[in-house]
Structure 1
């Protein structure tokens, strides 16, 4: 300011700064520290960043409004002073979901509720869920269900465990959530028989935990395994035979005979031959299970186990399966069980000897002449590098090997042989033996024998 007296003298005042701001602070984005997930402690904080505004009045406070997330929820409003404030500690008014918005005040007294931030959500649940077991269902006894009640945040996940009674060792079962319940199955076919305790543990969305070993009726959740009905599956090759028995009657010995059927679980089955396998599936009382599906799986030295067929039991629980002599193999008959019956299985071993033909180009020769033995190995595929073949001759009642050779990859072989020590007329008997070899899915086998007449000097 300038002042002048009547004499024309001028006076100047010191300068002062005038600060004018009539614009309310604008909207800023607010974030909830730690995210907006459910929490089991009432400890929240909202924060934001104040933009730089050098020509505006500084921020000196903020107002936040908390409202219930329900449509008819009430709201409360609180002023928080603070120079340059950019964070507000918060607490939810109670369990549940709440929305929070905020607007700022500047040093000029400007503020505008219409510039409130986009609301963020507080989720608070201090209460653990309630969990209990349903009693087992007689129509599906291995199914274990545990309803979970959590009225605030809701069920997140959980587990069901099983423990032999008194052991203190718990084994987790594969557990899923289905709506508002935990679901698991007990594999009573693999667990030892006995008494077991079952425990369920549930977590809600706020990480509150609850566990129980009781049913909804207050009884302890204890089970006696197995839960399902035991079954027996028998399979084998029936063979009839005559059994003779010597009995003494009236001081005399008499031989009686009767025809009996024996069931074998391992037999020798020649290449190309067939055998009928018979079996029966029964419950613990020996009653047949009708209409059950029995799968047939095969494994051998060179092939892993795989499915080759299935059969269905008749009204008495019986079934038959015709197997061929292809390789030495094990057939496993399996019943997968049902909701109320346990699985069962039985194995049959088929031992197929290797097979080869045998021929000779001449069956009558003179001493000093040669013949050529040959043949074809029918038990294929032959090993890489050919199948070992041993040519044998019968001398003094015993078979002796005198030549060995390997077949080609197609299984063909030949062996020349010259007779040099024969005197008079001799009949020689020859055969081929195919020894057992690793990686070759056949047992040791022999061919039919042939005869050669050799005439030498007397």
Structure 2
């Protein structure tokens, strides 16, 4: 027995050294491992005990957790004992069994063992492979009650570990149960490989629900792990940790190291809620990640998920304007427009909040009009006439709004007519009316009057005196009233455009004044007026008389005499001279005055211009009757110029005529002015036409003539004549003659 034990210990020591080397290599590979403490350090045992005889030949005994404050290793043990007397068949055993969680495996075991073994009994320590086969790594076959430490390493992870008390003989042999044999184990530490990563979860919550977020938001997180279980959960925003959860795990701190107290220390599924204070984040997009770690320290993170944050309310609306202006109006309809501030990275404008308040405690309370990037409010109305204050502020899509950023706009509505009434005080000097309007106030007014039997009202110069808020007076001078009854009317308008009229006094009586005619006065018979005689004629050029023709641009002289019927001259009398231009002239009728001399004579120079008719009138005075001289005709010849080129030519050649018709004070006819080119017939000394042409709209004309039948030498005198036409305010006129010499 002792020889086999020595050999067994030597073999076990070699195996232990080999396993230690493997453990060193494994540690360098930085595999995901954790340690489990059993039966020691105030820790119990996560193991099950069984024997192959059904409890008939073996029994167990375990004591692992002393009272608090006692020696944590005082008397602790996990033991298997033989039971009773008699024998037990070979290969029968009792065992303590530890199972690693699924997806994990035991890579090393260290602890303390001791035993009392007799007649074929052995204590064996070893792993159970994936097929359920037990392979001992350490074994002892004799009694050694000293506490001995051991360390076992496995080249590949194993799903279980066992401590067996075994009848180490063949099945056809047996081992005696007396004296008692037993095996002991304590202060065991398992190293478990857990290289299957956990799963990190982010399953919901307001933070990742979409849309814009503000304030405290939650995210539902968790993890799943089929091995050692979930120990930690951490939530990161933009790479910085904002929350951590340490889930409940069965563990103990030993020498500054956390060790599990169960083979699977943590739960396989965990879920919790992490709260995020978004006010500590900048406005705009952010990313959230949740990471989960199992007890072996393997850390896995979810994919990044974006969310949007906005904790700051929008600034106040810009460029706020009220359609129709902020003044008083008589239509209860208000439309508001504004520009939204630049939100930058923050959430877009989701709508506008508003409220308006007025007198007598009226307040609508806060109201909201939704709409992304809303820039207007239409069809607002107030409950009654009066002045109100509208407060307007903005709300973004995250729900942020600040009423203290509101812009205040006045809403002024007045659909009530002003109250107008004439004063009850009688005055011969002025007419007075009062105007009252409690809302927009009186703006203007007018006092009018008419005879009671007339339809047309006459305005009086009215003074508008705004004496106090909401009140004014209309004051007008009393007009010169004739005989009869006169009615007065007062019109008033307030600043909203409401109008009112009245013909009543404040006491409800008609504002009317009656004037009685004075007694008749005898009138003297009128003195008969003397008859007047007026003579007038025209002079100019080489002629004089009732009708006169002058060259273009020449003046004329009007002269004559004003006399009584007896032929005596009427001196220092004013005469009126009216000149009416002929049809087609642009000039209006001219009116001038001239005074007679001591003997009644007068002269007036008539300026150059188109043809005209001149009338002279004496309007009469206190002693003389009216006198007229009408129908004086002043005719003005047309002005024409003419050029001929060449001035010398042969028979068969053509001469070119050009010139211009002058038109002072008159437009050239639309179709042009008729012009005749004439030559002087020497035998009769008469001007004969050569051709007729028209000028352009500016009076310029051109024409050509070919001399075909001239023989010998001839000096031909030609001229241009502007002919008479309808709506041409000039008499026919000719240019100066031009001589053209033709060689036959």
The TM-score range, normalised by the shorter chain, is: 0.3 to 0.5
- TM-score, structure 1 as length reference: 0.45
- TM-score, structure 2 as length reference: 0.29
Instruction: Tell me which protein shows more helix as a share of its residues.
Output: 2
Higher alpha-carbon Rg:
2
Task: Kindly indicate whether structure 1 or structure 2 has the higher relative contact order, using CA contacts under 8 Å at least 6 residues apart.
Answer: 1
